[in-house]
Chain A
Amino acid sequence: MALNYSKKTLHNFRYPKNIGRLTRPDGYAQIGNPICGDQLDFFLKVEKRRIKDVKFLSFGCASNIATASVLTEKIKGLSLAAAKKYPWQKIVAELGGLPQQKIHCSIMAIQGLRRAIADYEAREGEKKVAGRGKKKKAMAKRKAKLKTGRKK
């Protein structure tokens, strides 16, 4: 099996877009690890449920870097809902195809991005919870009382 990368993949590997970190990201996720041979870290800035900015770090092969580069370009400006649905097949098509044994790179990039969005959403959820903190605490107390009351 030869490893033939398209020109576009090699170009995106050599000159990746959106590479680097974002300080104080709204969403962050890490996927993969050096033992498996590839890792991606995604950083998101979100505004009005749209991806305002996105950056990534990579420990990985040429296709790992190239797929993340293309993906970040394509999803910048998209709504979170649309970004979550972005399919790996589109990345592969955008790069003019990937070698069979490298298809997993595109899937990994998508999964990493979704995790970063999920991280953002979890943080938002926590903020809301924090905002309603007093109300919730009171509720929890009442519930606990009820429970212990029943037990007795």
Chain B
Amino acid sequence: MKVYLDNAATTRLDPRVMARIKPYFSEHYANASSIHALGQEAFSALKKAKKIVAKNINGAADNVIFTSGATEANNLIIKGIARANRERGSKIIVSAIEHPCILESARELAQEGFNVKFIAPDKFGLIKPAALKRLIDKKTILVSVMAVNNEIGTIQDIAALAKIAHQYGAHFHTDAVQAVPYLKLDVKKMGLDALSLSAHKFYGPKGVGLAYLDRNIKLKPLLVGGGQEDGRRAGTYNLPGIIGLAYALDLAYKERKAYLQKVRALRDHLWRRVKKEIPRVKVNGSLSVRVAANLNLMFHSVEGEAILLDLSSQGVYVSTGSACSASDLKASYVLKAIGLDKNNLNSNIRFSLGRFNTRAEIAYTVDCLKKSIARLRSFTPIK
């Protein structure tokens, strides 16, 4: 049996999305910037895709900028807004548990002379509005807090944070990559000036994402060239990807209720069994204020990568922290930030469930996990 429980890293393309994309490679392949009829057809499809996106997040279609993914979208928003709004001030505030593409963008800005502040989460992995209040002032240009954390799945009170940012005249951005379809995204209700998404996190294709950005906010583009996206992001429109993103997003919200029910039931079942059948396991971060697909667990006295590879050899695919942490081998900065005991920083596994998982897969996973933990604990020197 093969069990994929790494859906926060990426998801399998929905076959319906695949079918929808195909003709944009072979039939509607024209450049959406071309003036001839074929090009204009492509441009109409692009505009329609923006409308679909806008409808799903209750925003304006004109504010949608398609990108190569969320990394580009986050780089564009953080650096583009900061660099274009220097006359407002020099302070940028981001949470300490953002994805590396936000943290690294913020660090780049710090090198350029911006005053960058990081908001620490509490021990449950939540960014408290009071913590933002302590850092913000009238010179703040931008506040960015992710809607859902990629490692521990905790959900932030975005509306409350955005309200504070606006009280000080700052713009507010949220990286909502892990939020679809777990949270209803409503840029008006949440008070968002900017938001980023990535298609492959919700059963769409890889290599496409978007930056939603209020047109009234000044932006310094990252990519210049042919003037696409009204000069805000140059580069030929990736129409198959864009069509795929819009359709996948639409499906995600249309089928949200049943999807959440299913994923939550499976995740809860997984935790119930693990808690009962494996000793010395703890949940990292708040279990209740977390998306339905995520379970991040600490297995005392065994090393995370060893668990991952032991499970992998049995056909169960999980991750330690995030897919990014796998290659640099550093302990998770997210778990550090929420104050996990340093002796336990290397003993964590993220299970992220998805649409294609089944109850039988979860049963198999628990069986494998029990074997793996028992084997690794049989020779651990740690008490």
- Residues 310-325 of chain B, each 1 if its beta carbon lies under 8 Å from chain A, else 0: 1001000000000000
- List which A63-118 residues lie within 8 A (CB) of chain B: 64-65, 101
Contacts of A4-43 to chain B: CB distance below 8 A:
5, 10, 13-14, 16, 19-20, 30, 34-41
Measured between C-beta atoms, what is the minimum distance from B10 to chain A in Å? 15
Judging by beta carbons under 8 Å apart, are B313 and A37 in contact? Answer: no
- Residue B6 CB within 8 A of the other chain: no
- Asked if A35 and B345 make an inter-chain contact with CB atoms under 8 angstroms apart, the answer reads yes
C-alpha spacing A92/B298, complex, angstroms: 31
Interface residues on B, range: 20 to 34
A138 within 8 A of B: no
Q: A34-B343, A34-B346, A35-B345 are in contact. Are A59 and B327 (CB under 8 A)?
A: no
**Residue in chain B with minimal CB distance to A57:** B381
Contact present for A41 and B305 (CB under 8 Å): no
What separation, in Å, do the CA atoms of A152 and B310 have in the docked complex? 71
**Nearest CB in chain A: distance from B20 CB, A:** 31
Q: How far is the CB of A132 from chain B (nearest CB, A)?
A: 35
Given contacts A57-B380, A59-B381, contact A2 B327 (CB under 8 A): yes
Q: How far is the CA of A42 from the CA of B118 in the complex (A)?
A: 43
With CB as the reference atom, state the residue of chain A lying closest to B310.
A14
Most B-side CB within 10 Å, residue of A13, A16, A30: A13
Task: Decide: A62 and B346 in contact? CB cutoff 8 A.
Answer: no
Q: Give the residue name and chain of the B residue nearest to A55 (CB).
A: B379
| A88–B309 CA distance with the chains assembled, in angstroms | 23
Nearest-CB distance from B375 to chain A (Å)?
9
Residues of chain A lying within 8 A (CB to CB) of residue B342? 35
A41 to B380, CA, bound (A): 9
The answer to whether B303 touches A37 (Cβ under 8 A) is yes
Residue of A nearest to B380 (CB): A59
Chain B residues lying within 8 Å of A140, measured Cβ to Cβ, are none
Q: Which residues of A contact B309 (CB under 8 A)?
A: 5, 10, 13, 61-62
Q: Does A1 contact B (CB under 8 A)?
A: yes
Q: Which residue of B lies closest to A33 (CB)?
A: B343
CB atoms of B381 and A30 under 8 A apart: yes
Cα separation A36 to B346 with both chains bound (whole Å): 8
- Contacts A10-B313, A13-B306, A64-B303 given; does A37 touch B329 at CB 8 Å: yes
- Residues of the A chain whose Cβ atoms lie less than 8 Å from the Cβ of B345: 35, 37
**A1-B382 in contact given A60-B303, A64-B303 (Cβ < 8 Å):** no
A3→B327 contact, CB < 8 A: yes
Residues of chain B within 8 A of A16, CB atoms compared:
379
A14 to B306, CA, bound (A): 10
Docked complex Cα distance between A34 and B345 (Å) = 8
Complex interface: chain A residues within 8 A of B301 (CB): 34, 59
B326 at the interface (CB under 8 A from A): yes
- A33 CB, nearest partner CB in chain B, Å: 8
A53 to chain B, nearest CB (A): 16
Encode B367-383 as 1/0 by CB contact (under 8 A) with A. Answer: 00000000000011110
Residues of B within 8 Å of A58, CB to CB, are 379-381
Chain A residues with CB under 8 Å of B380's CB are: 57-59
A56 to B381, CA, bound (A): 9
Q: Which residues of A contact B9 (CB under 8 A)?
A: none
- In angstroms, Cα B306 to Cα A8, docked, is 15
Residue contact A62 to B305, C-beta cutoff 8 Å: yes
Q: Contact at A59–B382, with CB atoms within 8 Å?
A: yes
Say yes or no for B77: interface residue by CB 8 A criterion: no
Q: Could you tell me which B residues sit within 8 Å of A by CB distance?
A: 301-303, 305-306, 309-310, 313, 326-329, 331, 342-347, 379-382
| Besides the known contacts A30-B381, A61-B303, 4 further A-B residue pairs in the complex with CB atoms under 8 A apart | A57-B381, A61-B305, A62-B306, A65-B306
- 6 residue pairs, one from A and one from B, having the closest CB atoms: A57-B381, A61-B305, A37-B346, A41-B381, A1-B327, A62-B309
Binding site for B on A (CB under 8 A): 1-3, 5, 10, 13-14, 16, 19-20, 30, 34-41, 56-62, 64-65, 101
Q: Would you mind naming 26 contact pairs between A and B with Cβ atoms under 8 Å apart?
A: A1-B328, A2-B327, A13-B310, A19-B379, A20-B379, A30-B381, A34-B301, A35-B342, A35-B345, A36-B346, A37-B346, A38-B303, A38-B346, A56-B379, A57-B379, A57-B381, A59-B303, A59-B381, A59-B382, A60-B303, A60-B306, A61-B309, A62-B305, A62-B309, A101-B327, A101-B329
